[in-house]
Structure 1
């Protein structure tokens, strides 16, 4: 079976499950840690919150408007399989939000903001890393990072953290308190590194080797050329 020229086989379905699970963990981190502890969201989501604070525009509208040109760019810079996995990824963002709302998942406040930053960075990074591992995206900064990786071979963590720094600077000069800014920046750094660690096999192997783990032979499953898994 094929859809838009993409073979729908067991590997595609496995990647789709990874994608949906990754998006679910990413949204869960926002629900559990970001919202109840008054931290800023990272990436395009964080930019949407900034636009809401300054101009009163619904974040969902901003997120949608920013993603439109990104999706147009992706038609030329991503292959059909990556594009086909991006559509359910973007839809899953809203889907998981509704699921958690229906389940009454509201998160909890933690006295230590540093702990909040660590937990958010780890959980959201794990989720985004699974999305990257699936070779899909959920739009926003992950999609932009994939475009930069495919076109200019810039590692995903550098693009993600660069976007987050820009968003955090906008937030701190408008609505975000300085302690929350510093913790959110820490969270964004952890998020970017964990995303690359989970999503990129070669980087994961090099990192583990630094801590004394034996190097394993990795088989690249990347569909782009040259391979960006570094």
Structure 2
């Protein structure tokens, strides 16, 4: 079930994200990556409101994700997506204007801050806004590519499509400024800005935790033999490296299985190897 605190922050983050989208990005004809970028292209071409297309685009993705990934992983994504949709529908009927005198640099900066702040809050609470996040999780499940690489690839494809359809390179370049700023803000909000986190867990339920991390978080787990100083009890300490966007999901999983587990979380400044940079289909050379 959803925690009330997480629910509140996902709705709050969706409101901030939608505010920036409705009052800064759309009036100044800027774009976005992922599913949001597609909704903006359709809006500029056919005047169909983004909140409508957000649902239309995400429904088949949710059905596909529900079938492939399981419903547990989609609860927060559903909340984030529908929150964005509702906020956009509300803002559409609220007359409000931010007068920046057509200065697209200021629009890009402020838009990047607001959208990055909103998405950062959503990610920190364990949610997503659907779209490319679901595509990335499905792609990661069946290929050797990381979630981050797949999301980046989708964003690049959408922005390339934007250039082809709109033929407005100027707006796309300002969009890139906005996306870069939003990315930095997301990093700042989401636990300090590092791409990955190292997790060490001391628990009497190490086997159960390891199986849950492998099946639900989908990252490797290493057992480190350890011994309690006072109890002299031998235990398997768990070590795993995850993406920062999965941190809240990991915390919730650990708390669900063993609320008394001892956890340390460190910043992983660079991660090399299987699941991050190594093609899992490549095998070591035999001598």
TM-score of the aligned structures, taking structure 2 as reference length? 0.59
Q: Secondary structure at the match of 2:165?
A: coil
Query: In the alignment, which of 217, 222, 226 is matched to residue 224 of structure 1?
Result: 217
Distance, in Å, in 1 between the alignment partners of 2:176 and 2:60 is 27
1:184 aligns with 2:172: no
Show CA shifts across 1:174-199 (max 9, x none): 22522211110121233234334423
Please point out which of 120, 126, 131 is paired with 1:129: 120
Q: 1:53 to 1:102 in 2, by over 3 A?
A: closer
Q: Provide, for residues 163-184 of structure 1, a one-character-per-residue CA deviation record: whole Å limited to 9, x for no partner.
A: 3322222222222522211110
Distance 1:198 1:102 in 2: 30
Residue in 2 aligned with 1:21? 12
The answer on whether the counterparts of 2:113 and 2:182 sit within 8 Å (CA) in structure 1 is: yes
Flag the structure with larger Rg: 2
Length, aligned pairs only: 207
Residues 1:185 and 1:176: Cα distance change in structure 2 (over 3 Å):
farther
Matches within 5 A, 1:37-186: 37-51=28-42, 56=46, 58=48, 59=50, 62-76=53-67, 78=69, 80-145=71-136, 147=138, 154-156=146-148, 158-186=149-177
Q: Secondary structure at the match of 1:48?
A: helix
Query: 1:28 and 1:162 mapped to 2: Cα distance?
Result: 26
- Per chain length, whose mean CA-contact separation is higher, i.e. which structure has more relative contact order (CA < 8 Å, sep 6+)? 1
Aligned-residue offset at 1:150: 6.8
Query: For structure 1, which runs of at least 5 residues remain unmatched after alignment?
Result: 1-5, 208-216
SS in 1 for 2:129: coil
- What CA distance in whole angstroms lies between the structure 1 residues aligned with 2:186 and 2:139? 15
Which has the larger helix fraction? 1
Q: What per-residue deviation string (whole Å, max 9, x for no partner) do you get for residues 6-37 of structure 1?
A: 3x5xxx11111111011111111112311222
Change (3 A) 1:121 1:154: farther
On the 8 A contact 1:161/1:189 being kept in 2, the answer is no
Q: What displacement does 1:64 show? A: 3.2
Change (3 A) 1:88 1:72: same
**Aligned-pair distance for 1:117?**
1.4
Larger relative strand fraction: 2
Residues 76 and 206 (structure 1), Cα distance of their counterparts in 2 relative to 1, 3 Å cut: same
1:135 CA drift (Å): 1.4
Q: Specify the SS of the correspondent of 1:228.
A: strand
Could you tell me how far 1:60 is from its partner in structure 2? 5.1
TM-score, structure 1 as length reference: 0.72
* Cross-structure match for 2:205: none
RMSD: 3.3
- What are the within-5 Å matches in structure 2 for residues 196-207 of structure 1? 196-199=187-190, 201=191, 204=192, 206=194
